[in-house]
Chains A and B, each alone.
Chain A
Amino acid sequence: MPRKLMKGNHAAVYGAILAGCQAYYGYPITPASEIAEAASLLFPKFGRTFLQAESEVAAINMVYGAAGCGLRVLTGSSGPGISLKMEGISYCAGSALPCVIVDIMRGGPGLGNIGPEQGDYNQVLKGGGHGNYKVIVLAPNSAQEMCDLTMLAFELADKYRNPVFVLTDGVIGQMMEAVELPEPVTELPDKSEWAVYGTADSRHLINSIYLDHDDLERWNRELMKKYEIIQKNEVRVEEYRIDDAEIVTIGYGSSSRVLRSAVDIARERGIKLGMLRPITLFPFPVDEIAELADRGLTGILTVEMSDGQLVDDVNLALRGKMISDLYNRMGGNVPTALEIVENVSELYGV
């Protein structure tokens, strides 16, 4: 299979092009800038649109416009820029516009730093923008997945007419790995039912206003129903040496890469450690995690690069049958495999 060594950020752009993405609108920010740079290099080669917007606010609104015109459209950013995009993302969700947003998380709050972190978890998953909505969130942990999950993101966005996030951290964005480039999509979905093309047949309305309270509540319920279907159909996880595990660690993104190493080291030391990695953060693998509570495990350890954001969702999924412990690093620090193994030994006396 033909492979190319590339950064995760670049792989996302390849994935977008292969998925038939026709427009990129973005504003530079470390550690996501390579996405804009790669798009500026590649998109014009295909006669597709690259535009460096004046701000993230403008960028997400350009995404809104392009999506409203039925295009597959991408934007990429990191923490501070994602904060600025939130109003627009809420509009996209409210108007049922498919679009893909890549967030290469960096250290926060405020300007924080540009090191890898996972502190945008809550802002991306728990609304961030205003109102009753959810976004689908995919969490790649390799350059290959940056490509593959970006392609999937476009599929899911169109399938559910909903914004989709590709959420990862600076490590996955900056890291280079060999990527097998998949085949380009051959057919794009038909959006003529609702998209605006500037023709007599496409005199549609893209809108999120429902002045009548009952109308809006009806729309809210429709969205809820959609999110339930997504929850039912789209959960994706990776399990690593989990079948005979006595202790299970849970993490996504670059911490899950470290967890894989930690599991191997622990196993060498005779500790039966396993890993469960959510690939989709919404839909969250609620059943998969709930099921862990029935296994008689010694412990569940959530490892994240944020202040206990992921562990909240793990504990919700565990429904009080067990309580997950937390091991976290922040500020741009990535936990090391040894650190995690030692923490496991200490916590669980193994």
Chain B
Amino acid sequence: MAQKTILRKPRGFIDVYKHKPGAEKDRTHYCPGCGHGILHKLIAEALEDFDIVDKTIVISPVGCSVFAYYYFHTGNLQVPHGRAPAVATSVSRANPDSVVISYQGDGDLAAIGGNNILQAANRGENMVVFFVNNAIYGMTGGQMAPTTLEGQITTTTPYGRNVKTDGYPIQVCEIINQLTAPVYVVRTSLHDMPNIRKTRAAVRKAISNARDKKGFSFVEVLSMCPSGWKMDSVPAQEWIKENMIPRFPLETFRDDSEDTPAIERPVPVMDPDEVKRILEYSALSDSNLEKNPDAAFEKVAVRIAGFGGQGIMSAGIALANVGMEYGYNVSWLPSYGPEMRGGTANCSVKIQSDTVGASECTEPNMVIAMNQPSLEKFEKILVPGGALIYNSTLIDIEPTRTDVEVYPIPITGIADELGNTRVQSMVSVGAFAAVTEMFDPGEIENLMTSLFKGKSDKVMKLNEKAVRKGYEYVKENFS
């Protein structure tokens, strides 16, 4: 009678550990009695039993399990210390059908990677986290971990962990359990056979959750580090029971997997025509309205300045847009940063036929000042012969410059008459057009249709009126 071989090295493991350097490609690098090996075996067995070895991706950050990729017959990413949950996040988003495992030690997860684990848990990423709590830094030779017990001696707590100076051992499951998103949070232990079997059940539950796209499962495993603890393996199991469990109670903190629907991720759109449709290529500007060949200005470098709420930035953008519609090269540069908070805002706009160099108008040939401080500040930098347009509704002082063309225009007033202060920027666009004569005014309707594409007729008409009013005011008063 054929006998079945049972309980052999699970197929979740690589047959020959080809990535492991040196001759010993048939055994792990773990110390005798190390809990990592036991947990590895439980994981590898579950992957085989669920027939998901192929679609599993294991993320191994730094710690003794940094070499987990030697062993698992899966896709593997070795990653920086503490960052496995961040990497697992994007791996899971990239391959929504895969089973993503973040395998972390306590230093890795609870110290350097503390925020990463919380945030991935809080997002409810579809992944399993195996958290090996061995109360110590194993790999680097036995230093204090966030989970090191009170009074425990490590190489960096030679007098024992002093909770007054080093803090208390962190109970990670309890913290994760405060979050809304995780579906499964459990703490188990490897200190004896019944508990290894409970760990096995937890491992299988968590992995099946990821397979079923249930979201975030967190399995904390109390685990022996005989080397770090300077103990034999069996006493190490005893040590967990005596010392760790009182601080880290074994418990299923949460199990919502039954009631949680599967996570669905969208399929990315990559088709070029579809991309162009979504980006609205058909609506892009290619109007090339007629320039005025007899323009008074060949190129304009204008500073627009005023109060924060006066639509300074949008007036500048409108001007640049108009310039673009007429086929000019344009640039718009805001003053950004703390200056903005002071209540005044200004921007630089350049409109010209040749390539634009510096985008900040440090020597503008036009200034549009919408309030008094702006007039005082920017009239100084206007080049001789330049144009100074200012908002005479709000500014009742006279400019000091006499070597420039001055255009006092009641910009706010005109906008108010039209019933909407917000169209000030369009009034200034009209004034700008009249002063520079850069744009053929006959094109204004076409301009409006391309500037306000998709907007209501009413909006378009109002703005058109504002431009015309600004234009006419200049023509009537300064010609």
Determine whether A and B are in direct contact in the complex, meaning some CB atoms lie less than 8 angstroms apart. yes
Give residues in A with beta carbon < 8 Å to B.
1-5, 14, 17-18, 20, 22-23, 25, 30-31, 42, 44-49, 51, 53-55, 57-59, 61-66, 68-71, 73, 87-88, 91, 95, 113-115, 170-171, 174-178, 181, 183-186, 188, 196-200, 202-209, 211-212, 215, 254, 257-262, 264, 332, 334, 336-338
List 25 interface pairs A-B (beta carbons < 8 Å), by A numbering.
A4-B285, A5-B285, A17-B279, A23-B93, A45-B278, A49-B93, A53-B119, A61-B116, A62-B89, A62-B90, A64-B79, A64-B80, A65-B87, A65-B91, A68-B87, A73-B90, A170-B336, A178-B329, A196-B57, A199-B55, A200-B54, A258-B358, A262-B357, A337-B362, A338-B363
Cα distance A59–B66 in the bound complex, in angstroms:
21
Tell me the bound Cα distance from A53 to B76 in angstroms. 22
By a CB distance below 8 angstroms, the chain A residues around B69 are: 205, 207
Asked if B342 is an interface residue, CB under 8 A from chain A, the answer is no
Q: Which 4 A-B pairs have CB atoms at the shortest separation, nearest pair first? A: A198-B98, A261-B357, A2-B284, A47-B266
Chain A residue nearest to B329 (CB atoms) is: A178
How many residues of chain B have a CB within 8 Å of chain A? 71
Q: Are B87's CB and A181's CB within 8 A?
A: no
Query: Which chain B residues (54-101) contact chain A, with CB distance < 8 Å?
Result: 54-57, 59, 66-67, 69, 73-80, 83, 86-91, 93-95, 97-100
Complex interface: stretch among B235-243, B317-325, B419-427 = B317-325
Partner of B83, one of A17, A68, A88, A95: A88
Q: A114 touches which one: B56, B66, B336 (CB < 8 A)?
A: B336
Tell me which residues across on chain A come within 8 A of B79, comparing CB atoms.
Answer: 61, 64-65, 91
Q: Which residues of B contact A259 (CB under 8 A)?
A: 357
Q: How far is the CB of A24 from chain B (nearest CB, A)?
A: 10
Instruction: State the CA gap A114–B338 with chains docked (Å).
Output: 8
Q: Does B23 contact A (CB under 8 A)?
A: no
Nearest CB on A from B83, distance (A): 4
- The reply to whether A175 and B331 form a contact with Cβ atoms under 8 Å apart is yes
Bound CA span A305–B383, Å: 26
A177-B330, A202-B75 are known contacts. Are A171 and B360 too (CB-CB below 8 A)? yes
When C-beta atoms are compared, the residue in chain B nearest to A176 turns out to be: B332
**Inter-chain contact B270/A66, CB cutoff 8 Å:** no
Which partner residue on chain A sits nearest B116 by CB separation?
A58
Flag whether B180 is at the interface (Cβ < 8 A). no
Contact of A2 among B270, B272, B285, B338 (CB under 8 A): B285
Would you call B331 and A30 a contact (CB within 8 A)? Answer: no
A168 to chain B, nearest CB (A): 12
The distance in angstroms between the C-alpha atoms of A204 and B57, with both chains bound, is 9
- CB of B362 within 8 A of CB of A113, answer no
If A171-B359, A184-B276, A204-B75 touch, whether A3 touches B324 (CB-CB below 8 Å) is yes
Q: Is the CB of B333 within 8 A of A175?
A: yes
Residues of A within 8 A of B317 (CB): 5, 176
Contact present for B358 and A62 (CB under 8 Å) = no
Q: Does B281 contact A (CB under 8 A)?
A: yes
Checking A62, A183, A215 against B86 with a beta-carbon cut-off of 8 angstroms, the contacting residue is A62
Given A88-B83, A181-B281, A338-B363, answer yes or no on A257-B275 (Cβ-Cβ < 8 Å).
Answer: no
Task: Please measure, in the bound complex, the distance between the C-alpha atom of A53 and the C-alpha atom of B86, giving whole angstroms.
Answer: 8
